[in-house]
Amino acid sequence: MALRRCWRLAGVVPRLLWTSAARPGASVPGGRSSVSSLVSTHPGCTTLQLLLRRFSSAPPSTDVSYEQLKQLLADRKAVVIDVREPWELREYGFIQGSINVPLGQVNTALQLGAEEFKEKYGGEMPREMDNIVFTCLAGVRSKNALNTAASLGYKDVQHYPGGWQDWVSNEQHK
């Protein structure tokens, strides 16, 4: 039965993506996917390694954990942008050190001059090579902001998938 599950899973993935045929980071013809590691954890599929990741202009590793975000903030090694609406920050709270740029303004904001950005949003304008971490309430809008920034040429963009909800939960358990 375990072997049957392995073969069922294997039938979904084109032969091109098998470990022997593709290396992590390689492009797949057609430009719709790129290859990254994903190891099957099914007990009967110990040697089956599938390599598939949806194509995105964003870097392969884009998620930041609570602990990683805390460290980035403490070390001042990232610009944290909260893409929620201002009323949400007033009602629910916000991560200290973050800059509020509502999702609908991210595209325009990241194309402003440094002085105009600082005047409008109250923080330093991130440069294309800066580490930027986007956050929101639950990780959906931050992922959209990440994709927008990546399409504008920002290289080191990430998002905090747990968002404010995860932040509050972790802060309460300290």
Please identify every residue annotated as catalytic. 136
With beta carbons less than 8 A apart as the criterion, state whether 35 and 14 touch.
no
Distance CA 51, CA 40 (A): 10
Tell me 128's DSSP state.
Answer: T
* Long-range Cβ contacts of 36-45 (<8 Å, 24+ apart): 36/60, 40/6, 40/9, 42/2, 42/5, 42/6, 42/9, 43/2, 44/1, 44/2, 44/3, 44/5, 44/6, 45/2, 45/5, 45/6, 45/9
Q: Return the sign of the alpha-carbon dihedral for residues 118, 123, 126, 127.
A: positive
Distance CA 66, CA 10 (A): 34
With beta carbons less than 8 A apart as the criterion, state whether 137 and 103 touch.
no
